[in-house]
Every structure is written in C-alpha cells, then in structure tokens.
Amino acid sequence: MSLDRPARIHAGVIVALLAFLVLALPSMLSAYWVDVTTSVVIYAVVALGLGLLMGRVGLVSLGQIAILGLGAWVAARLTYATSLPYPIVLLLAGAMSAVLGTLVGLPALRLSGLFLALITLMLAGAITVVLTTTQFPNGGPGFLGHTDSSLGSNAIRRPAVASSDTGYFRYTTLVAVLMFGVVVLHLRSKAGRAWAAIRQSEASALAAGVNITRYKLWALALASFITGIAGGLLAGSVGKLYIVQFPISGNILLLAAVLMGGIYTLWGAVAAGLLIKLLPALLDNWGLPPDLLTILFGVGILQVLITAPEGIAVQLPRDLGRLAGLLSRPFQRNQAAREEAP
Amino acid sequence: MTVPALLGLPSWEFFKPFIVTGLALGGVYAVSGVGMVVLYQTTGVLNLAFGAVGAMGAFIAWELNNNTSLPDWIGYLACIGFGGVVTLLYGVAFGPPLAGRDALTKAVATLGLALILLGAMSWIWTDKARSLDLPTTNSGFEVGGVMVNWTQVIAVGFGVVMTVVTIVFLRHTRTGTAMRALADDREITATLGVPVRRVEASAWLVSGLVSGAAGLLLANLVGLDAATLTFLVISALAATLIARLSSVALTLAAGFIVGLVNAMVTPILSISQYRDMTPFVLATIALLWVSRKDIRVTGLR
C-alpha cells in the first residue's frame, strides 16, 4: 500500500481508536454505559446513511428512522421465525430496507429538493402508522408475530458469539466498521465520483455522461441498506421493540444531529451518533430534563444552517487549530524577532 | 344484500357524526394550509413549525386560564398573539440570512424552530393529560340527528371566511399585489420599489396569527398534546401539496378533503386503525400526480 504520510497517520489513529473501543473500553464501563455505547455505535451507522444522502448526493430524507424501524421489524420477525445465523438476518433486514428505500426513492427521480424531503416525511408517517398498528414481533403467532400476553413473548435472540452485553457491543462495532468500510469503498470508486458530480450540478453531471437515475437510486438503496442493518443491530441490542423507539419526531432529531455532526466527512456520522445517544444519557446522568436535548438540536439546526454548514466534525478541529495557532503566536513572533536580529 | 353491506361498510347512520368532525378538522387544515401557502409564496419559506407555534400558544392559553384569575378571553387572545409574535420574530431574525438559500434549506431551518418549541413545551408542561375547552364547545344544536357544537361551526366558518378574505386581499389591496409580485419574481419586485422586508414581515405576522388561531381550535377539536398538535402540521401540509403550494382556493377544498376522508374512514372497522395514514397517503398521491410533469410551483393565486 502506498499511502502518503497524513493518510498513514489517519489510518493509524483509526486503528488505535478501534482497538481501544473494542478491547479496552467495555471493561472500563458499567453495564448501563456499555448499553449506551452500543446504541451510539448503532446510531452512528444510521447517521452514516443519512449523511451519505445529504452530504454526498445532496438528497434530504426525513424518513430514516421509519426505515430503521422497518429494518428492526424484519430482523425481529426473522429471528423468531427462523434459526438463520445473525449475519444473514442482518443482511436480509438490510435488503428488505433497501428495496423499500428504493421504492420510496423512485419519485426522487422526478421530485427534487424540498418535495423529495416532504415525500419522505409523508412516507415515514405512513410507515409509523402501520408499525403502530401491527406492533413489533415478540414471539407471538401468525405473520405479525405479536402477542399481547406477556407469557408468549420473549426477547429477540442475539448472535451466539455475542450473547453478553459486552460481546454484543463488540459485534455491533465490527458490523459498524464494515458499514463505514462499504461507504468508503463507494466514495473512492466510480459511484463516489458520480455522486459528487450530481451534487455539484445535475446538468453538468448529465453532460459528463453520468447516469443520474442509476446513481441516485443506488445511493438511496445503499443508505437504506445501511439503515436496515442498523435496525437489525438495534433489535438484538434492546431485545424488545416498541413503536415509541421510532417516533416521527425522531426523523427530525436525526436530521438535526446529522447536520450538527457534519455531512461532509464520515467523522460527522460518529459525532451525530454521540449527539443523539450519548448526550441524552449524559443529561439524564446530570439530572437534566431530556427535553433540553430537543431544544439544543433545534438551536443546532439554525446555527448549522446559518453559520457553520460543515458541522462539528470539521468545525471543532479547525477551531482548536486556530486556538492553538493563537496561543502559539507570541512564541513565533519572538522567534521571528530573534531570527531577524543580526 | 346491498353493495355497501357486501363491502363491509356500516350503514349511513354511522357516518353522520364523522362528517361533522371531518368538516371541522378540514376547516382548520384549510386555514392552516392557506396561511402556509401565502407565506411560502411571499417569502419562499415553507413553515414546518406552523403546528408547534399553535400548540405552544394553546398551552399558554391553558396556563393563563387555569393558573391565573384573568378572564378566559385573555388566554385565547394570548394564544393567537403568541403565534403572531413568535412567527414574526423568527421571520425577521432568520428570514434575511437565509433569503438566498434554496427552499429546502429554508424549510429545514423552520424545523429548528419546531424542535425548540416542542422541547420547551414538553419541558414546561409535562406529559400530564390536559384539556382546553372553548366556551363554544359546550353548547350546540342538532342537525339530522347529529350534535354539532359551535366550535365545529367556527372551525368550518373560519376556514371558508379566511380563504375568501385572503383571495380578496391578494387581488385588491396594495400589499396583496406586492405579495403576488414577490411570488412571481423577488428580484424584479425589489427593483420596482416594493418594500420587500415590510411585505414579508406582514406575511410572517398574519400567517403567525393564523397558526395561533388554528392551534387554539385544534387543541379543542383534537386535544391538548404537544407532539400531536405539532405534527398535525402534516395534515395541513398535505392540503397545501394537493394545491401545489400555490392556489389558495384549492387549498381550502383540499383541506376539507383531508379532514373528511380521515374522519369518514373511522367507522369502517377493517381499515379504521389505519385512518391516521390519510394525510400521508393523500399527500403522497398528490405529489406523485403533480410530478407527472416537470414540477414547477406557479405563482400565488
């Protein structure tokens, strides 16, 4: 591999971070915080999907949480109905979500911008109503697999290799890394370049011979696939699923978190995962009301749109860099003065 | 057997009360939709915080009526006034910095306002069940065996009257003409010496007042719940989308259709649980229908 120096440092940092995350972190945390960290990882994957659509292709979806719920439903149904290995369950959940996401996306070929965002919000609303009525499978009979009695219901099974909370956290992290890897591969290949061209200008992308229809649909399918996999991970993580985990307002909160995290780098997805899952746990820990988070996200949307479109993942390092520059300026000036002196 | 019975439809008698609820809700959706369309055409902002603003106004009215000794009508006025003030402040503060951005960015920014209000509401007024009753809800009359209360009458009347007033206003007043001009072309309108900021501010104010009034009515017709009232904006949005975000008269009709279909599905047991899907499904169909051709929002009519 011929990587230049900054790229090697970047890769080294990522490997070190992952090693710490998988090997050291779980033993340092209590069961509660392992749970929180698992959901941070899962929502980072969800944010990855939306970030891909918004930052790379320029499509805004207000229905990602509904697709997450759908993926969770499919995964839960499969774990009760079959004894398929968990990776297959995840793949099927991802595939089903990809099919639905693409169907939802078909109008995206004609609609653009505002109207696409609105249609995804409408379809998210429709999916939420359906999921509210059918409820989530909990081991009951029939196609829906839901029973109201507490006797018939049991928790969604986890992969055999990862039945403990720590084990499941490691499993989740591994799958998440794979998802980030899939996206990185896409961005470095023909698809990534096509998306970049579409985001810049559809007219010039068309002129350059990019098949806009195909690549837009491909982006929607990929983002939905990733979100469906995250849904499958979520199903195993919580054991029992309820519609309150997928409210319509969740779609908007996710959009806020992804915008605040930053849509032009993949680190933004990690930041969004932290914002949407770690922050509420911290607020709860400090005895602050969770509604503060909603208000903060609202302010965040306005702030990002007006002053900082790149989000925390880009803004924070740059601001820290500026701060460091500011702090080191007196020293540099002294040095310059010394060098000038004869 | 008759055809309706074969389809599993209940007899006509069961539908009657739902016509009244449907029309009342439709009236509020219509007036909300008209408020959103006029604001969208004048300023380019699709205000997705419309429901949240009205909801917060309704909670303020509840607070004033239950925890102070002020007369009730002050609470109701405060609700409408709150809608106007908050929307105007948002428009004046965030309208100009976002004026050059695309419609999507402007709409997403209003989601920021919606989240702030939603968070504030569930923080201040926790999830305890509340109800806000206008005095008009407790009295009514009977039509063809169905009880109709005055709030429902006001809702329908408000929808129709506001639409007619808006149409007349847009056609025959100076500000209305300026608004239509802005909808057609912002730059040219500014060059012709129309005070763009002032015309936009008036659109923000009026649409805000309408959102307050709609919140007050919906809190009566549906219930006083922050999340429900905030997301009822989707039903109004469905009406505006059916009207392609441009025709005020069509928005009125679409509002009534959304309200009626939603309510009429209730007594049909087989699909009753799915009735909340109505606005989403209608709006999706409308969007797909509109997108048959190149989607271009035409001027304000």
Instruction: Quick: pLDDT tens for B47-94.
Output: 999 999 999 999 999 988 888 888 888 888 999 999 999 999 999 998
CA angle, residues B99, B104, B108, in degrees to nearest 5? 90
Partner A contacted by B279 (CB < 8 A): yes
Is residue B297 situated within a structural domain? no
* Lowest-pLDDT choice from A35-44, A215-224, A303-312, B60-69: A303-312
Q: What is the spatial distance between Cα A267 and Cα A314, in angstroms, rounded to a whole number?
A: 8
Total structural domains within chain B: 1
| pLDDT value at A333 more than 70 | no
CA-CA distances (angstroms) from residue A329 to A39, A316, A334, A337, A342?
42, 20, 9, 12, 22
Q: What is the pLDDT of residues B171-185, one digit of tens each?
A: 888 888 898 888 888
The pLDDT assigned to B1 comes to 47
Which of A115, A127, A131, A248 would you mutate first to test chain B, the one with the most B CBs within 10 A? A115
| pLDDT value at A298 more than 60 | yes
Is residue A323 situated within a structural domain? yes
Do A175 and A234 form a contact (C-beta atoms < 8 A)? no
Q: Residue A6 carries which side chain, given as an amino acid letter?
A: P
Q: What is the spatial distance between Cα B127 and Cα B138, in angstroms, rounded to a whole number?
A: 25
Range of the domain at B238: 12-289
The pLDDT assigned to B140 comes to 75
Q: Considering only residues 133 to 162 of chain B, which have any Cβ-Cβ distance to chain A shorter than 8 Å?
A: none
| pLDDT value at B295 more than 50 | no
| pLDDT value at A128 more than 90 | no
CA of A249 to nearest chain B CA: how many angstroms apart? 8
Is residue B299 situated within a structural domain? no
Q: Which residues pair with B147 in a beta bridge?
A: B142
CATH number at A190 reads 1.10.3470
The pLDDT assigned to A183 comes to 92
Is residue A158 situated within a structural domain? yes
Which of B36, B56, B104, B113 would you mutate first to test chain A, the one with the most A CBs within 10 A? B104
Is residue A222 situated within a structural domain? yes
Residue in A175, A176, A184 with CA at minimum distance from that of residue A52? A184
- Which two tokens mark B214? 């709609």
How far from the centroid of its chain's Cα atoms is residue A340's Cα?
A: 53
Q: What is the pTM of this model?
A: 0.86
CA of A278 to nearest chain B CA: how many angstroms apart? 18
Average pLDDT, integer, range B149-175? 89
Q: What is the pLDDT of residues A214-236, one digit of tens each?
A: 888 899 999 999 999 999 999 88
Q: Is A247 in Cβ contact with B105 (below 8 Å)?
A: no
CATH number at B80 reads 1.10.3470
Is residue A72 situated within a structural domain? yes
Is residue B3 situated within a structural domain? no
Q: Residue A35 carries which side chain, given as an amino acid letter?
A: D
Average pLDDT, integer, range A186-215? 87
Average pLDDT, rounded, for chain A: 83
Is residue A250 situated within a structural domain? yes
| pLDDT value at A108 more than 70 | no
Is residue B300 situated within a structural domain? no
Is residue B113 situated within a structural domain? yes
CA of B114 to nearest chain A CA: how many angstroms apart? 7
Taking the alpha carbons of A260, B118, B159, A117 in that order, is the dihedral positive or negative? Answer: positive
Total structural domains within chain A: 1
- Which two tokens mark A252? 């908007």
Cβ-based burial of A228 (10 A; exposed 0-12, middle 13-18, buried ≥19) = buried
The pLDDT assigned to B95 comes to 87
Number of other CB atoms surrounding residue B233 within 10 Å? 28
Range of the domain at A187: 20-26+33-340
Do B35 and B210 form a contact (C-beta atoms < 8 A)? yes
Is residue B166 situated within a structural domain? yes
| pLDDT value at A212 more than 70 | yes
The count of CB pairs under 8 A between chains A and B is 130
CA dihedral of residues A319, A280, B117, B113 (deg, nearest 10): 30
| pLDDT value at B113 more than 90 | yes
Q: What is the spatial distance between Cα A255 and Cα A246, in angstroms, rounded to a whole number?
A: 14
Is residue A172 situated within a structural domain? yes
Average pLDDT, integer, range B88-113? 89
Is residue A11 situated within a structural domain? no
Partner B contacted by A106 (CB < 8 A): no
Which of the four pLDDT bands, split at 50, 70 and 90, describes residue A323? confident
Q: What is the spatial distance between Cα A83 and Cα A86, in angstroms, rounded to a whole number?
A: 9
Helical segments of chain B, H only? 3-6, 12-43, 50-67, 72-98, 103-124, 150-172, 174-184, 186-191, 196-221, 226-231, 233-242, 248-264, 269-272, 278-290
Average pLDDT, integer, range A163-179? 87
Q: Which residue has the higher pLDDT, A150 or B162?
A: B162
Q: In what helix (H) or strand (E) does residue A108 lie, and over which residues does it extend?
A: none
The pLDDT assigned to A214 comes to 87
Write the ipTM. 0.84
Q: Is B111 in Cβ contact with A252 (below 8 Å)?
A: yes
Q: What is the spatial distance between Cα A172 and Cα A193, in angstroms, rounded to a whole number?
A: 29
